[in-house]
Amino acid sequence: MDTTTKLYKIIVIFVLFLIGIVIFLGVVLKIIIQERHLPRLYIEEKNRAIRGSIITQDGYQVSYANKLYKVEVNTRCIDPQKKELFINLFSIYSGIPKSVVRKALRRRGYVTISYAIDTKTAYQLKILSRKLDALNVFIPYKVGKKRYIKQGLTILESGETRIFPYGDTLTPVVGYVGKIEDDGYTRIQGIKGLEKFYEHIVEPKQDGIIRGKRDIGNNIIFNKEAFIRQRVDGFNLHLNINIFLQKNIERLLDTHKFDLGAKEIIAAVMDAATGKILAMASSNRYHPKRIRREDYAALNPKFTEYPFEPGSVMKPITFALLLENHLVNLFDIVRGYNGKMRLGKGYITDEHGFDWISAENVIVYSSNIGMAQLAQRLNAMQFYDGLRRFGFGQRTGIDLPYEKKGKLLPEYKFESKVYKATVGYGYGISVTFVQLLQAFNIFNNDGYRVLPHIAEFYTLPNNKRIFFDYKKRIKVLSSDTVATMYNILKKVVQKGTGTVAKISGLEIGGKTGTAHISKRGSYVKSYISSFFGFANDTKHRYTIGVTVFEPTTKHFASQTAVPVFRNIVLELINEGFLNPNEQE
């Protein structure tokens, strides 16, 4: 054999050797990186943190999270002779129909029987896994020439779900959530309402980790070798809402909506001194877990996201600015033009014509003509700055997302006599329900503007309470102006447009407002009617707002919003929030 032949054979042998090495390394690499369902001696589980709860003032959870689990089984580990026993027992423990379990087990190998097992059922299934092993339902199967494995049920966290135990109660305020996928785990995030606004409070804080040896049920053995990092759930949010008052007001809004043929009615009750919202209700609600196409319009709360022209509820605001600037006396006499007065290129009218009317009665009997003339006494800066101090043209800061500012035109627009007049009686300006509630509360709180708020504090895992800072108060009106306005608003109820709201033993005042709705640039025969005011006893002071959207059987606020207001006050009495003085 010559040298060339020997060299050729050496090269061939070397190449074959290299090929063998490459194949060997490839097989080893595949074994390393390929996902296999072989049970490991040590396992690690994430103990996923869950979202915090939303809890009412009286201790009811209106929203909370539950974990979901998926349950898997290796069908090759089920003794064929005991398959029916497995199906029957699994169905009993899980509540899943036997037909569903049997269908899942038709597939060979690892199968997922369910992705939506709750925490209690998951615990029961872990117990079942041990019992099935004791009954020899699980058998080993061969995975190699000499290796056998035996494995029971595998129960793993698959995500969390949000529970709303009281259905549509407190919607749309509480809001709703959406799902996001996080490495195969379904998490929740707020989309609207309190769920969105307080996402940073209620979101999960830290997942836990559990690592250690496993038992036959694929459960971690807790011994000195186990590693545990505690999970930290989202913080619990505590509201000022009283659930009984809330539900009762929701029911009465439903009744009034039907009687009035209205599109929607909204209402709120606020503690005058603190700004705490005790109830915020709508007739148009939805179940956060079962949102239908017809619910879409109700997903955006009108309290903060629907600016509208307020109508005559603006008259007390204008009158207060006149008083504050010493531009009006209650006994000033204003001409009434018998119910019809020319303004610019058009006319303004009153429902009831007057020849002459006192400045005070402009509010009590709601005269557009009287207010149009009185508003002229304010200069542009006084009017514009005064409305800003009341909170118009800016967000209140209430704890709901996507709050609208409304529309307040620039100061120079108030140089126009026509614009000044129309804003004076509630047109040419758009406001939100919450802005009006905050503004009217100034008359019930010695001239101070406070922040309306639904939540009061949240709790840490050690139950420590962290209160939100709502202490800031802004002085808007002098005490003298407030005292005068308070008495005028009481007279509206005693003898003016709000007499239906009168209840013996309580101090009740407020102002009606009925505004035409503008569609496609012109006013139509559709209305938004409101009543904003207060109901006080010797110890408690509450500011209450009611707005009725597009009633059809009646449209004046005295016939629509005021009766709703009265029934809300009666609910406050029934629930012990107000105590009428029987001597009055």
- Render pLDDT for 259-292 as a digit per residue (tens, 0 to 9): 999 999 999 999 999 999 999 999 999 999 999 9
Q: Which has more confidence, 372 or 39?
A: 372
Beta strands 346-349 and 340-343 are: antiparallel
Q: What is the DSSP letter of 501?
A: G
In a domain, 558, yes or no: yes
Do both 144 and 287 map to the same domain? no
Q: What Å distances lie between residue 560 and 147, 283, 567, CA to CA?
A: 80, 14, 12
Q: Of 133, 163, 193, which residue sits at a domain end?
A: 163
Asked if 417 and 375 count as a contact pair (C-beta separation under 8 A), the reply is no
Q: How confident is the model at residue 584 (pLDDT cuts 50, 70, 90)?
A: very low
Nearest one of 565, 534, 515 to 267, comparing CA atoms:
565
Say how far apart CA 151 and CA 129 lie, in whole Å: 9
Asked if 126 and 118 count as a contact pair (C-beta separation under 8 A), the reply is no
In a domain, 236, yes or no: no
- Cβ atoms within 10 A of the Cβ of 584, count? 10
Do both 472 and 563 map to the same domain? yes
In a domain, 7, yes or no: no
pLDDT at 419: 95
SS3 content of the chain, % helix, strand, coil (to 5): 35, 25, 35
In a domain, 500, yes or no: yes
pLDDT at 157: 86
Q: Of 163, 181, 205, which residue sits at a domain end?
A: 163
Do both 267 and 409 map to the same domain? yes
- Cβ atoms within 10 A of the Cβ of 11, count? 10
Poorest-pLDDT segment among 197-201, 498-502, 580-584: 580-584
Output the pTM of the full model. Answer: 0.85
Which residue shows structure tokens 């029916």?
84
- Domain housing 459: 243-292+306-574
Do both 249 and 368 map to the same domain? yes
Say how far apart CA 106 and CA 297 lie, in whole Å: 45
Take residue 63 and report the two structure tokens written for it.
Answer: 């929203």
pLDDT at 583: 45
In a domain, 351, yes or no: yes
Do both 263 and 149 map to the same domain? no
In a domain, 73, yes or no: yes
Contacts 24+ apart (CB under 8 A), 397-400: 397/451, 398/277, 398/303, 398/304, 398/434, 398/451, 398/452, 398/453, 398/454, 399/194, 399/197, 399/198, 399/453, 399/454, 399/455, 399/468, 400/173, 400/193, 400/194, 400/197, 400/301, 400/303, 400/304, 400/454
pLDDT at 387: 98
Do both 269 and 148 map to the same domain? no
Do both 155 and 264 map to the same domain? no
Averaged pLDDT, 3-23? 75
Do both 424 and 316 map to the same domain? yes
Q: Indicate which CATH number applies to the domain containing 256.
A: 3.40.710.10
Averaged pLDDT, 310-316? 97
In a domain, 32, yes or no: no
Percent of the chain with pLDDT over 90: 73
The domain tally of the chain equals: 2
Spatial neighbors of 233 by CB under 8 A, at least 6 apart, are: 49, 50, 51, 52, 204, 205, 461
Q: How confident is the model at residue 214 (pLDDT cuts 50, 70, 90)?
A: low
Q: In a 3-state reduction of DSSP, which class is residue 276?
A: strand
Do both 157 and 254 map to the same domain? no
pLDDT tens digits, 154-183: 888 889 999 999 999 999 999 999 999 887
Poorest-pLDDT segment among 8-22, 51-65, 95-109: 8-22
Do both 133 and 254 map to the same domain? no
Asked if 390 and 441 count as a contact pair (C-beta separation under 8 A), the reply is no
Q: Of 142, 163, 184, which residue sits at a domain end?
A: 163
Decide if pLDDT at 227 tops 60.
Answer: yes
Name the CA dihedral angle for 318, 324, 330, 334, rounded to a multiple of 10 degrees: -50
pLDDT at 524: 87
Q: Indicate which CATH number applies to the domain containing 70.
A: 3.30.1390.10
Do both 365 and 507 map to the same domain? yes
pLDDT at 405: 97
Do both 430 and 542 map to the same domain? yes
In a domain, 557, yes or no: yes
